[in-house]
Structure 1
Amino acid sequence: MIDRDPDPRPVPPERPLPGDCCDSGCECCVQDTYAEALADYQARLARWLERHRDAA
């Protein structure tokens, strides 16, 4: 039987590699996508840390 954590710590998004951005001004740039994912991660982590004060 696998005992899974019902409230695991959020995992940060992977940072894009230097060659992932083509620098052509794409409407949906990997840098923009990463920034949005990072902001979401930080918000989820802050809420998780409130629930797990002993983890800080």
Structure 2
Amino acid sequence: MASDLPDDDPRPVEPEAPLPSDCCNSGCPICVYDLYAEQMQHYREQLAKWKQRHPEAS
């Protein structure tokens, strides 16, 4: 499927979720799931901004 979107403003890429084995379950101050939640929040913000710039994209 061809796209007319400019190459210099690509759609943000969703971060990869950590695997269950990535967490050691020892109560780390900054868990991989905390980092993932922060990455997802940033991704959602960037995606919303990108969609404003590209209303024709679904």
Q: 1:32-54: per-residue Cα shift (whole Å, max 9, x none)?
A: 00000000000000000000000
Which has the larger helix fraction? 1
Distance apart, 1:25 and its partner CA: 0.7
Runs of 4+ residues over 6 Å off in structure 1: none
Q: 2: CA distance between counterparts of 1:17 and 1:28?
A: 16
Q: Distance in 2 between matches of 1:7 and 1:37?
A: 19
TM-score by length of 1: 0.90
Identical-residue share of aligned pairs (%): 57
RMSD: 1.1
**Could you tell which deviates more after superposition, 4-13 or 16-25?**
4-13
Unaligned runs of 5+ in 1: none
Residue-pair matches, total: 53
Name structure 2 gaps, 5 residues minimum.
1-5
Letter of the 2:46 partner, please give it: R
Distance 1:24 1:53 in 2: 44
Aligned to 1:9: 11
Identify which of 47, 50, 55 aligns with 2:49.
47
Give 1:26's aligned amino acid: C
Q: Within 2, Cα distance between the matches of 1:10 and 1:20?
A: 24
